[in-house]
Amino acid sequence: MSTLHLTKHHGLGNDFLVVFHPDVDDLAALAVRLCDRRTGIGADGLLVAESADGYAASMVLYNADGSRAEMSGNGIRCFAQALAARRGDLSTQRILTDAGDRIVELAPTDDPATITAQVEMGEVTELDEPAGWDTLGCNPDRPVAHLSMGNPHTVVGVDDVSVVDLAHLGSKVPQINLEIIEPGPEPDAITLRVHERGAGITQACGTGACASAFAALRWGLIAASVPAVKVHMDGGTASVSFDAAHAVLTGPATLIGQVEVAVA
């Protein structure tokens, strides 16, 4: 029996456990065990940190169901906060993910448990329509975009995100991250709800915020002249700006606490 030392963080209510160099054979099973909200600690995902030449660290993400995901915009901010605490500074971090390199810049806030992180999220690219998309019965007049942020997203424009049965729709295309968005309430903002692959409905999604902001600008829901798009989610608001099709995500990460777990 050994002991794992983990920290728990959240980015706008999207919560993650972070562990450094775990001596565990089956990390997917560990994620399922720890992320269970009744019998485990509870989280949307497990972030595993390892050393990597030329990087502050490498980050591997396991969803709550044990599946491995390429990238998380909220997760990498939480990961960067844990790494900063371990390093003892808020210097810029270059992190290796399954979606490629990501640069994270950190800044303190008035809350000692919270930092602000700005993440270079990479290029938004087009994806083919996901398998099973026709089963949703989506109104053909609604704007739809299939996009990649290193992980797959489908963004749908709707009139009112609050009335959509998102759990039902998301269950029909579980292999993607499904975002529904409406414009506003501010001229430079959208409101988003998300059903995430491997986790279900979550309070926020960083990669989804980037894909949705990109789609909103394309559809003319927001003027192209705005310097950044505010993305309102159930857990709070993130900011997304673009250099051409390359997204930059800015938002908070908050330390919830530390925990020790016995593993065989």
One domain for residues 149 and 93: no
For 164-185, write each residue's pLDDT tens digit: 999 999 999 999 999 999 999 9
Provide the domain count of the chain: 2
One domain for residues 131 and 243: yes
Q: Per-residue DSSP letters for 116-161?
A: EEEEEEEE-EE-PPPTTGGGG---TTS-EEEEESSSEEEEEE-S-G
Summarize the confidence of residues 180-196 as an average pLDDT: 97
Cis peptide before 22 (omega within 30 of 0): no
d(Cα 233, Cα 203) in Å, to the nearest integer? Answer: 7
Could you tell me how far CA 150 lies from the centroid of its own chain? 11
One domain for residues 240 and 258: no
Q: Give the per-residue pLDDT at 128.
A: 95
For residues 126 and 153, the answer to whether their CB atoms sit within 8 Å is no
Q: Give the per-residue pLDDT at 179.
A: 98
Q: Give the per-residue pLDDT at 141.
A: 87
One domain for residues 7 and 30: yes
For residues 53 and 38, the answer to whether their CB atoms sit within 8 Å is no
In CATH, what number is assigned to the domain containing residue 192? 3.10.310.10
One domain for residues 83 and 169: no
One domain for residues 75 and 159: no
One domain for residues 102 and 137: no
- Domain encompassing residue 44: 2-122+250-263
One domain for residues 154 and 81: no
One domain for residues 71 and 144: no
The token duo for 71 is: 């990238």
For 142-176, give one letter per residue: b (16+ CB within 10 A) or e. Answer: eebbbbbbbbbbbbbbbeebeebebeebbeebbeb
For 102-146, write each residue's pLDDT tens digit: 999 999 999 999 999 999 999 999 999 999 898 888 888 899 999
Q: Give the per-residue pLDDT at 29.
A: 96
Q: At residue 165, what are phi and psi to the nearest 5 degrees? A: -80, 80
Q: Give the per-residue pLDDT at 189.
A: 98
One domain for residues 14 and 48: yes
Q: How many helices (H) and strands (E) does the chain have?
A: 4, 17
